[in-house]
């Protein structure tokens, strides 16, 4: 069986042949490959091709694929039962760990995906404040939640419009989408709607439109405006949580959100999500409070065991320090290549997260990211794939490093990047 024949079969039974859209390679053309196995920093497709992987299951594989410590933890948990539908001790252990590592989180609830986590944060913010409006930022993706799949209106301060079929315009009207890193627009939004805004949700570091960082002072101003208007600040740390630092990006930024959505790394590769915050907010959740949220598989013992094993291993080996070292190696190599070729493409990195933007203009927002040369990126992507390096199949995604990326991996990757940039 080939990748092409299996994809043709998949399209007979699965919409688009994939269970998550970006996997279809629509942004870069061509057809996706199917993975037969993965270990460490490498994966193998069903045709036997070996690739250095910089997608890492979109973030969770921070230790690398199939790390022994996580596999063994899952095996032991599975022997005791796959799911119970009643509390298990592992739920308490991981909740204690999260609350210990993330100072803004006094209580946490486990769910099954990042989408569930952000959806629950929105409901909780509305329940706590008694308000309806939500503010989000253009280019920030928070899962396929109806009220968050919203794009900006045509005017400077209009309510949103649906970004997907199936979302009633009336629901989208409850969300305001504004540019990221624009303090003036942020201030105008609060001036006009401040007493109606339940919460502001933001990817701690926007990583679903490439990777762009907050300007100095932007989050401090956001925190101040939220406090001034009794609005909840929600950090979406589904990607950055436990990846860029032990306490997430909020530890690095020294910003304390009211609610935090988490996922990916805390599941060790299994489906997981979590959200947490101050006691007075979290206590509104059922069964103690009137804000309903539930999930049959929430706190699943396999996911809890995998997450605990991964987080403890990260702490044991000082994973964040080691990832920073690997990230510096990659960044140095890429910048050296760009300099030799006379390309001023924008390369952004935060710890083990990175993105090469195919534009020579600074990227601070989604509008800036849209300036990228997508034709050049497509050629680059396929060139790298043919030479054994797998980056995300979209200019508007982030790359991820893991602890198993070796110096040899980075050297080969740098060489491949050099060769492929010469083709575009």
Alpha-carbon distance 419 to 169, whole Å?
47
Q: Are 352 and 400 in contact (CB under 8 A)?
A: yes
Q: Which of 45, 136, 264, 345 is an active site residue? A: 264
Q: Which of 53, 136, 141, 379 is an active site residue? A: 141
CB atoms within 10 A of CB 158: 12
Q: Are 172 and 162 in contact (CB under 8 A)?
A: yes
53 assigned to active site: no
379 assigned to active site: no
Alpha-carbon distance 32 to 34, whole Å?
7
Alpha-carbon distance 300 to 140, whole Å?
28
Q: Which of 45, 236, 258, 409 is an active site residue? A: 236
Q: Are 413 and 52 in contact (CB under 8 A)?
A: yes
What number of residues does the chain have?
424
CA dihedral 421, 180, 204, 187 (to 10 degrees): 160
Please give the structure tokens belonging to residue 336: 């050296």
Alpha-carbon distance 189 to 334, whole Å?
39
CB atoms within 10 A of CB 144: 15
319 phi and psi angles, rounded to 5 deg: -60, -35
Q: To which H or E segment does residue 109 belong? A: strand 107-111
- Tokens 């054994």 sit at which residue? 388
45 assigned to active site: no
Supply the residues annotated as catalytic.
141, 236, 264
């Amino acid at each position: 069986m080939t990748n092409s024949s299996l994809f043709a079969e998949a399209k007979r039974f699965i919409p688009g042949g994939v269970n998550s859209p970006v996997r279809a390679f629509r942004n870069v053309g061509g057809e996706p490959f199917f993975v037969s196995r993965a270990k460490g920093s490498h994966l193998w497709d069903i045709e036997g091709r070996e690739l250095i992987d910089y997608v890492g299951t979109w973030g969770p594989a921070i230790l690398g694929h199939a790390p022994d410590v996580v596999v063994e933890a899952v095996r032991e948990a599975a022997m005791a039962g796959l799911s119970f539908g009643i509390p298990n001790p592992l739920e308490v252990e991981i909740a204690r760990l999260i609350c210990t590592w993330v100072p803004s989180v006094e209580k946490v609830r486990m769910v099954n995906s990042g989408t569930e986590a952000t959806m629950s944060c929105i409901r909780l913010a509305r329940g706590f404040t008694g308000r309806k409006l939500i503010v989000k930022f253009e280019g920030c993706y928070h899962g396929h939640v109806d009220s968050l799949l919203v794009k900006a209106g045509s005017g400077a301060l209009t309510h949103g419009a649906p970004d997907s079929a199936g979302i009633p315009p009336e629901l989208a009207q409850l969300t305001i989408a504004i540019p990221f890193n624009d303090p003036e627009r942020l201030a105008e939004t609060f001036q006009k709607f401040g007493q109606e805004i339940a919460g502001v949700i933001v990817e701690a570091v926007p990583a679903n439109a490439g990777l762009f960082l907050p300007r100095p002072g932007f989050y401090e101003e956001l925190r101040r405006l939220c406090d001034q208007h009794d609005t909840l600040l929600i950090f979406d740390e589904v990607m950055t949580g436990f990846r860029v630092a032990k306490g997430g990006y909020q530890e690095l930024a020294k910003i304390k959100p009211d609610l935090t959505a988490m996922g990916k790394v805390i599941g060790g590769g299994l489906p997981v999500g979590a959200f947490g915050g101050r006691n007075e907010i979290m206590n509104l959740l059922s069964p103690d409070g009137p804000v309903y949220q539930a999930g049959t598989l929430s706190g699943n013992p396999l996911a809890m065991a995998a997450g605990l094993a991964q987080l403890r291993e990260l702490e044991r080996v000082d994973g964040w320090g080691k990832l920073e070292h690997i990230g510096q190696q990659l960044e140095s190599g890429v910048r050296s290549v760009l300099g030799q070729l006379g390309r001023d493409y924008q390369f952004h990195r935060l710890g083990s997260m990175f993105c090469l933007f195919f534009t020579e203009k600074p990227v601070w927002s989604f509008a800036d990211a849209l300036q990228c040369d997508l034709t050049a990126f497509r050629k680059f992507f396929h060139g790298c794939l043919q030479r054994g390096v797998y980056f995300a199949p979209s200019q508007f995604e982030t790359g991820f490093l893991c602890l198993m990326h070796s110096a040899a991996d980075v050297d080969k990757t740098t060489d491949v990047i050099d060769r492929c940039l010469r083709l575009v």
